[in-house]
Chains A and B, each alone.
Chain A
Amino acid sequence: MTNAIAEAADQDVVFVIGSNTTENHPVIGSLIRQSHKKGGKIIVVEPRRIPLCRDADVFLQIKPGTNVALLNGLMNVIISEGLQDQKYIDERTEGYAELVEMVKDYTPEVVAEICNIDAEDLKKAARLYAKADKAGIYYAMGITQHITGTEGVMSVSNLALLCGKIGKYGCGVNPLRGQNNVQGACDMGCLPADYPAYQKVFKDEVREKFEKAWGVKLPSKPGLTVTEIMNAVEEGKVRGLYIMGENPMMSDPDLAHVEKALKKCELLVVQDIFLTETAALADVVLPGSSFAEKDGTFTNTERRVQRIRKAIKPVGDSHADFEILSDIMAALGYGNSFRTASEVFDEIAKVAPSYAGMSYERLENGGIQWPCPTKDHPGTPILHVGKFSRGERALFKPAPYRPSAEAPDAEYPMIFTTGRILYHYHTSTMTGRVQGLMNISGHSYVDINPADAAKLDVVSGDKVRVTSRRGSLVVDAKVTDTVAEGVLFMPFHFTDGPANVLTNTVIDTTAKIPELKVCAARIEKA
């Protein structure tokens, strides 16, 4: 997030796109509703009628996969009605002319057709957002999990820049990260081309710095991403895979393909707290520890580094994860090992400039938002104030709309989309073991519109078979108008109907993110 979470409760307009906020980031959802109570408006752009629509002033129920067209349409209206922040554009941006040229084709009528919405609602949303003083855009995987994920993010950024809403309180571009420490895992350099704090592995001066810090020669070639690793394993190019706290056998697209790859692996090490679907395939399983059993830090979606503290001893003979890794490093002949979490954090602060000013002592009072470059720096609640990371001016990145990889056809006539629900978390290894949560929601299902259900002669609770080009599942039907006609939604949490059996592995070529939000499917009574 460019801005702080607390600002969500103090907005003139909240613009939510591709995020089911009250279910997946419930407390931010509550803050948005607080803002609404104080008179703030809410715009929701979503393929589903999510709970936040109850409070929304404008709800645009778009066809899945058409975010970029929608955002270009908003910019078209804003520019044609002269609602852009010209002063901000002139002083703080470049590439505006190209943006104007690109969005001019996206008239409300054209966009209404692509997105299957009302052109008047589009205009209303554009005016509300552009005219507001404090207006933040909040998005999640509904923007990113498409082959056009990168373009989706660029379009969000273009819209915010066009209205002068980056680098200001109550505004910004605010991705809501789905996991407790996904921000931190990225910050720490668990990315194939990045050392901690996004320092690039292929830059000589950066590599030299880390070679000095770590006392070894380091590789200069960027590594492989998750999806590429799975392919390389299947091709025999990657022979050994170490997986810590992940469950690709539930979370990755096309599970049949993942299983084939993992079974081919010569050495599969899985370090986790439960025997997950992935761990069950491993050659060695190591018992890690949960957040309650170790000291450390998480970095939340607003870049705030906060402490976790050891509340109980590790369960059984499990060990804190960094200790296990430290032991492996020692066994591999790499000398230095870490004994405490704060020792590790101190090394992080030495090599990661955005964390340089932090220490456990400083984190005692409410955490610190990076960048925090020095010991006396208070942290940075709002990014890009007065200056961008690339310099004085931000660059518009005009992105034309491209349709999703799979369009419905005669054989697979429905659009299939996936997501999470309030009562479960990711692959449900944790929430699946909480009886109350399982009592409320314990089985997989598919949401289907009443009109589509009537055609199949299906009512809620009936078994239906959902089939895509990758696989086929039988689950309960849930008849609901939260999805539009022609659209199916399935949560990906459940082992008794894992949605990712059906999803498409096609990826965004820049960010390598799979298109989990759209594929074509067929549904029939089982």
Chain B
Amino acid sequence: MLNVTIDGIKLQVPEGTTILQAAESVGVEIPTLCYLKDLTPEASCRMCLVEIEGMPKLFTACSTPVAEGNVIFTKSEKVIAARRSVLDLILSTHNADCFSCAKNGECQLQNLCYEYGVEKTSFAGVKNNYPIDDSNEFFTYNPQQCILCQRCVQVCQNLHGEAVIGVVNRGFKARVSTPFQNLLKSSNCVSCGNCVSVCPVGALLPKSKERFRSFETKKVHTTCTYCGVGCQLDLIVKDDKVVGAQPLYGPANKGLMCVKGKFGYNFINHKDRLTKPLIRKDGELVEAEWSEAITYIADKIKAIKAESGPDALAGLSSARCSNEDNYVFQKMMRAAIGTNNVDHCARL
């Protein structure tokens, strides 16, 4: 174990612990833009700079392992000044048109600039004028908003495992692109959207049918409804409508999701949803009240049971529905109707 002091807090950490991890363990927050859990630190954004007593230069907390006896300052004047310069430099190539940016209100760059009092850049940097790639069905990439933190590249290559995108060119001309700089549509991209989920700014944005600001929405932590992996996510809700999905770091999905979970939510509020009970009358399904439908079903079940016994009835439950729905379903078949004729689509 190594002894270390962070902002006056003394602690012990195992060898190999980074300064960022050590700080997190005692609740000291260090700002980051490029850092992602589970990955080798990229250390490209430089936001996490900290001061180590006795060292002339500052260090990136995400990539620097703690050494025995380190005395670390995360909020010294020197550190704050350096982080301001970092933000100033990032802003110099960022199209800070926050009014028209859908990320406004939850942009990590915007939040940090506000926190550190950086209102505009003091550098006359070259801003790229690469066009927006909106060829993907579900998201857009705007190089003019991109701060080249490479979170998207890291996720695509090292967590999702497709390796569709990388950084091309150098300096002011650098941007994230596909091999041969084709449109995303013409690449191997499978639209998992994990790049979009990790983008700290408005460079990668979901194509949403709704226009909304983050502060108009609420987030509801739930489990994905598609396959059996059980990815954890937040459903983003505005005015009682689901308008987005954001993966969470669940025990199975570790922050990842697939195209269906991330972008396949529009069925929820779809116009085709059944909204009223229907009863077949003269060959046609016509709308009915709940009480009528329930009575109709119960009467028919009772009649069949009286004539032919409970085993003349059967039920197919659903692997789509919740445990609670399924429990009540089999209880209805067994306890209220009196048959074990209950199964579901496990085999299909």
CA gap between A26 and B264 in the complex, in Å: 14
| Cβ-defined contact, A245 with B318, below 8 A | yes
Is the Cβ of A286 less than 8 Å from the Cβ of B277? yes
**Can you list 15 A-B pairs with a CB-CB distance of less than 8 A?**
A31-B254, A181-B323, A182-B345, A188-B327, A190-B344, A218-B335, A218-B338, A222-B340, A225-B343, A226-B344, A266-B300, A290-B268, A321-B329, A348-B327, A440-B137
Instruction: Rank and list the top 5 A-B pairs by shortest CB-CB distance, nearest first.
Output: A316-B275, A300-B230, A33-B161, A245-B318, A296-B322
Is the Cβ of B300 less than 8 Å from the Cβ of A240? yes
- Would you call A472 an interface residue if the criterion is a C-beta within 8 Å of the partner chain's C-beta atoms? no
Q: Are A319 and B330 in contact (CB under 8 A)?
A: no
- A224 touches B (CB below 8 Å): yes
Judge whether A24 is part of the interface by a CB distance below 8 angstroms. yes
B84: interface (CB < 8 Å) = no
**Once the chains bind, are B301 and A185 in contact (CB under 8 Å)?**
no
Cα distance A329–B332 in the bound complex, in angstroms: 6
- Interface contact A190-B279, CB-CB below 8 Å: no
A422 lies within 8 A of B190 (CB): yes
Contacts of A294 in B (CB 8 A): 322
Name the residue on B nearest A24 (C-beta).
B227
Cβ proximity bits A172-191 to B, threshold 8 Å, 1 near / 0 not: 00001111111111111111
Tell me the bound Cα distance from A187 to B272 in angstroms.
32
Q: B260 to A238, Cβ gap below 8 A?
A: no
**Is B98's CB within 8 Å of the partner chain A?**
no
A229 to B312, CA, bound (A): 10
The stretch among A92-100, A331-339, A448-456 that forms the contact with chain B is A331-339
Is B327's CB under 8 angstroms from A267's CB? no
From B51-59, B125-133, B218-226, give the one contacting chain A: B218-226
In chain A, what residue has the closest Cβ to B194? A30
Chain A positions 398 through 425: 1 when the CB is less than 8 Å from some CB of chain B, otherwise 0? 0000000000000000000000001111
Report A330 CB to chain B, min CB distance, Å.
8
Contact A319 B290 (CB under 8 A): yes
Interchain CB contact under 8 A, B264 and A434: yes
B124 at interface by CB-CB < 8 Å: no
Residues 481-526 of A contacting B (Cβ, < 8 Å): 511-514, 516
- What is the minimal beta-carbon distance from A299 to any residue of chain B, in angstroms? 6
Please measure, in the bound complex, the distance between the C-alpha atom of A179 and the C-alpha atom of B137, giving whole angstroms.
25
Asked if B241 and A312 sit within 8 Å, CB to CB, the answer is: yes
Task: Choose among B260, B263, B272, B320 the residue with the greatest number of A CB atoms under 10 Å from its CB.
Answer: B320
| A6 in the interface (beta carbon within 8 A) | yes
The winner among A195, A274, A302, A436 for most chain B CB atoms within 10 A is A436
Q: Are B298 and A286 in contact (CB under 8 A)?
A: no
- Let me know if B1 is at the binding interface, CB within 8 A: no
Q: How many angstroms between the C-alpha atoms of A304 and B347 in the bound complex?
A: 20
Contact B225–A290 (Cβ < 8 Å): yes
Instruction: Give chain A residues whose Cβ lies under 8 Å from the Cβ of B310.
Output: 219
B100 within 8 A of A: no
Interface residues of A in 293-344 (CB under 8 A from B): 293-302, 304-313, 315-322, 324-329, 331-334, 338, 341, 344
Residues of B within 8 A of A266 (CB): 300, 304
Residues of B within 8 A of A280 (CB): 285
Rounded to whole Å, the gap between the CB of A283 and the closest CB of chain B is 5
Most buried by B among A284, A297, A333, A516: A284
Given A180-B224, A299-B323, A433-B270, A267 contacting B340 (CB threshold 8 A):
no
Collect the chain B residues with CB atoms within 8 Å of residue A331's CB: 294-295, 297-298
CB-CB nearest in chain A for B239: A312
CB distance A237 to B190 under 8 Å?
no
Question: Are A181 and B321 CB-contacts (below 8 A) given A433-B267, A437-B259, A437-B264?
Answer: yes
A430 interface hit (Cβ, 8 Å)? yes
In the assembled complex, B36 has its CB within 8 A of some CB on chain A: no
| CB neighbours of A301 from chain B (8 A) | 228-230
Complex contacts, B317 vs chain A, CB 8 Å: 185, 188, 190, 244-246
B304 & A267 in contact (Cβ 8 Å cutoff): yes
Q: Does A234 touch B at the CB level, under 8 Å?
A: no
Write the nearest CB–CB distance from A107 to chain B, whole angstroms.
33
* Distance between A300 CB and nearest chain B CB, rounded to angstroms: 3
Those of A20-50 within 8 Å (CB) of chain B: 22, 24-31, 33-34, 36-37
Residue pair B242, A292 in contact (C-beta under 8 Å)? yes
Q: Once the chains bind, are B320 and A245 in contact (CB under 8 Å)? A: yes
Complex CA gap A5/B191 in Å reads 22
Give Cα distance in the complex from A305 to B250, angstroms: 12
Q: Nearest chain-B residue to A140 (Cβ)?
A: B228
B159 CB-CB contact with A under 8 Å = yes
Residue from B159, B253, B258, B327 within 8 A of A196 (CB atoms): B327
Chain A CB within 8 A of B15 CB: no
Alpha-carbon gap, A393 to B5, bound state (A)? 53
Give Cα A192–Cα B260 distance, bound, in whole angstroms: 32
Q: Once the chains bind, are B329 and A325 in contact (CB under 8 Å)?
A: yes
A-contact 0/1 string along B210-243, CB 8 Å cutoff:
0000000000111111111111100101001110
B263 neighbours in A (Cβ, 8 Å): 434, 436-437
B328 x A326 contact (CB < 8 A): yes
Closest chain A residue to B318, Cβ basis: A245
With CB as the reference atom, state the residue of chain B lying closest to A186. Answer: B346
Q: Which residues of B contact A279 (CB under 8 A)?
A: 274
Cβ of A345 < 8 Å from any Cβ of B? yes
Would you give the 0/1 interface string for A464-484, flagging 1 where the beta carbon is closer than 8 Å to chain B? 000000000000000000000
Q: Which of B179-196 contact A (CB under 8 A)?
A: 190-192
User: Tally of A-B residue pairs with Cβ under 8 A?
Assistant: 472
A204 to B322, CA, bound (A): 29
Closest to A215 in B: B335
Contact, CB under 8 Å: A190 / B273? no
Q: Tell me which residues across on chain A come within 8 A of B253, comparing CB atoms.
A: 27
Contact B285 A178 (CB under 8 A): no
Q: Decide: A328 near B298, CB < 8 A? Known: A219-B340, A316-B275.
A: yes
Smallest distance from the beta carbon of B341 to chain A beta carbons, Å? 4
Q: Is the CB of B312 within 8 A of A239?
A: yes
* A179–B159 CB distance below 8 A: no
A226 CB contact (under 8 Å) in B325, B330, B340, B343:
B343
Nearest Cβ on chain A to B8's Cβ, whole angstroms:
31
Distance in Å from the Cβ of B249 to the closest Cβ of chain A? 10
Interface flag for A359 (CB, 8 Å): no
Whether the pair A309, B328 counts as a contact (CB closer than 8 A) is no
Residues in A whose Cβ lies below 8 Å from that of B294: 324, 327-328, 331
A28 to B161, CA, bound (A): 11
Tell me which of B273, B302, B326 has the highest count of chain A C-beta atoms within 10 A of its own C-beta.
B326
User: With the chains together, A466 CA to B223 CA distance in Å?
Assistant: 39
Determine how close the nearest CB of chain A comes to the CB of B9; give it in whole angstroms. Answer: 26
Tell me how far the C-beta of B143 lies from the nearest C-beta in chain A, rounded to whole angstroms: 22
Having A190-B317, A302-B252, one finds 14 other A-B pairs with CB under 8 Å, namely A190-B342, A210-B334, A217-B338, A224-B341, A226-B348, A237-B312, A284-B296, A285-B285, A286-B277, A288-B274, A300-B223, A300-B228, A305-B323, A311-B222
Interface membership of chain B positions 84-113, coded 1 if the CB is closer than 8 angstroms to chain A and 0 otherwise: 000000000000000000000000000000
B125, chain A: closest CB distance, angstroms: 35
Distance in angstroms between the alpha carbons of A45 and B277 in the assembled complex: 47
| Contact flag A27-B161 (CB < 8 Å), given A273-B274, A297-B322 | no
Q: Return B22 CB to nearest CB of chain A, in Å.
A: 24
Q: In the complex, what distance in Å separates the CA atom of A128 from the CA atom of B280?
A: 60
With both beta carbons as reference points, the residue of chain B lying nearest to A294 in the complex is identified as B322
Encode contact with B along A258-286: 1 for CB under 8 Å, 0 otherwise: 00000000110100111100011011111
Q: Are B251 and A216 in contact (CB under 8 A)?
A: no
Residue from B160, B279, B347 with most neighbouring chain A CB atoms (10 Å): B347
A295 to B323, CA, bound (A): 10
A65 an interface residue at 8 Å Cβ cutoff?
Answer: no
The answer to whether A315 and B221 have CB atoms under 8 Å apart is no
- B161 (CB) vs chain A CBs: closest residue: A33
A223 close to B (CB within 8 Å): yes
